[in-house]
């Protein structure tokens, strides 16, 4: 499984890319592989306030529907518009084209508590 070394991870298989106070959030290669072909992604509106570990949407595959959890608190500043018609991007390009939301973090120190790539990789083995 592909676990990029420049990201942070959650137990519920989301990844976070931090640039300044903006956190970009998606689901991991492992998560998309377990879910199977993704057919629908339900994302929040821009402006929604999220608490860490709060559900921000759902991802639906041919097998199941799963909640998506925000790793950090903050305000949604962007949701990936491509996923409304190309949900398969989450399968084919989970870390770049398949990103889900961008959050302006209200508590950036929450990032330190997330899993680093080595511990996420270890949790999969």
Does position 62 bind another protein by CB under 8 A?
Answer: yes
DSSP three-state, residue 74:
strand
x/- binding map, residues 84-123, to another protein, per CB under 8 A? ---xx-----------------------------------
Q: Which two tokens stand for residue 103?
A: 């959050």
Annotate each residue in 22-41 with x if it binds another protein (CB under 8 A) or - if it does not, as one string: ------------x-xxxxx-
Beta strands in the chain (DSSP E): 8-9, 14-19, 22-27, 38-42, 49-50, 55-61, 65-69, 74-79, 101-105
Interface with another protein (CB under 8 A), residue from 64, 92, 119, 123: 64
Residues of this chain that interact with another protein (CB under 8 A) are 34, 36-40, 62-64, 87-88
């Amino acid at each position: 499984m592909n676990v990029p070394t420049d990201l942070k991870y959650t137990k519920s298989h989301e990844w976070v890319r931090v640039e300044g106070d903006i956190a970009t959030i998606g689901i991991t290669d492992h998560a998309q592989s377990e879910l199977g072909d993704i057919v629908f992604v339900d994302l929040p509106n821009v402006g929604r306030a999220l608490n860490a570990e709060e559900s921000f949407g759902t991802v639906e595959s041919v097998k199941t529907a799963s909640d998506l959890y925000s790793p950090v608190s903050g305000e949604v500043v962007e949701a990936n518009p491509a996923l409304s018609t190309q949900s398969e991007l989450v399968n084919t390009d989970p870390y770049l084209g398949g990103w889900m939301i961008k959050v302006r973090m209200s508590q950036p120190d929450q990032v330190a508590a997330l899993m680093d790539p080595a511990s996420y990789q270890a949790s999969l083995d």
